[in-house]
């Protein structure tokens, strides 16, 4: 089994000494570098680079530079997606975003984790577990989402949260560790009614 196959299976793998993984990350980092150097007005060039970088992306996807990821091809983005400055996606495993997802600045989505045993870490071993973000999700500034997390449709994650466990649909969750504060209700919809 290759190191890439181990990663895809959620097993411990060595990302630091495998020639294929090192090459894949180098290609990805070069594409991120090119993307981050684009003029803000160069929408067409940004979209071309994102299409080359990401596994899949829908219509009306905006990622405000700088943006960094490990492989790119494990990132799957739906329609009407916005990520603000300094988004980091460590995609050793798939990271999936639904439609109408809005991400504040300085957010990190990390599928990568390391063994608690120092000996295994010293060998360069790590694991990668998928992250899934539903549709109609708002993630505030400075949020970190850890390996294996699912955030349900319609959820709001408060700024500064560290998401260590799954978040159900249609709730407000916040904190370190992130926890559900309450459900989103019709009163929340009424609060922002326009005259």
**Domains in the chain, please, with CATH?**
3-191 (2.160.10.10)
Cβ neighbours of residue 61 closer than 8 Å, sequence gap 6 or more: 47, 50, 77, 79, 80, 81
Confidence of residue 188 (pLDDT cuts 50, 70, 90): confident
Active site residue 136: no
Query: Per the residue annotation, which of 17, 79, 85, 114 is the catalytic one?
Result: 114
Q: Is the pLDDT of residue 192 over 90?
A: no
Is-above-0.85 flag for pTM?
A: yes
Q: How high is the pLDDT of residue 194?
A: 63
Nearest-angstrom CA–CA distance, 114 and 121: 6
What digits encode the pLDDT tens for the residues 111-128? 999 999 999 999 989 999
């Amino acid at each position: 089994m290759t190191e890439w196959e181990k990663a895809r299976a959620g097993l411990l793998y060595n990302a630091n000494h495998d020639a294929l993984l090192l090459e894949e990350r180098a290609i990805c980092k070069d594409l991120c570098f090119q993307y981050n150097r684009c003029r803000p007005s160069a929408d067409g060039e940004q979209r071309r680079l994102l299409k080359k970088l990401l596994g899949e992306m829908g219509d009306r996807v905006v990622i405000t530079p700088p943006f960094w990821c490990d492989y790119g091809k494990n990132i799957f983005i739906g329609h009407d997606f916005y990520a603000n400055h300094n988004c980091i996606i460590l995609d050793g495993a798939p990271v999936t975003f639904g439609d109408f997802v809005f991400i504040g600045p300085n957010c990190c989505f990390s599928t990568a984790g390391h063994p608690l045993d120092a000996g295994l870490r010293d060998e360069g071993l790590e694991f990668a577990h998928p992250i899934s973000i539903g549709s109609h999700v708002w993630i505030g500034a400075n949020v970190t989402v850890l390996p294996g997390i699912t955030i349900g449709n319609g959820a709001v994650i408060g700024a500064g949260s560290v998401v260590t466990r799954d978040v159900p649909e249609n709730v407000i969750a916040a904190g370190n560790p992130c926890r559900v504060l309450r459900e989103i209700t019709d009163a929340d919809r009424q609060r922002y009614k326009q005259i």
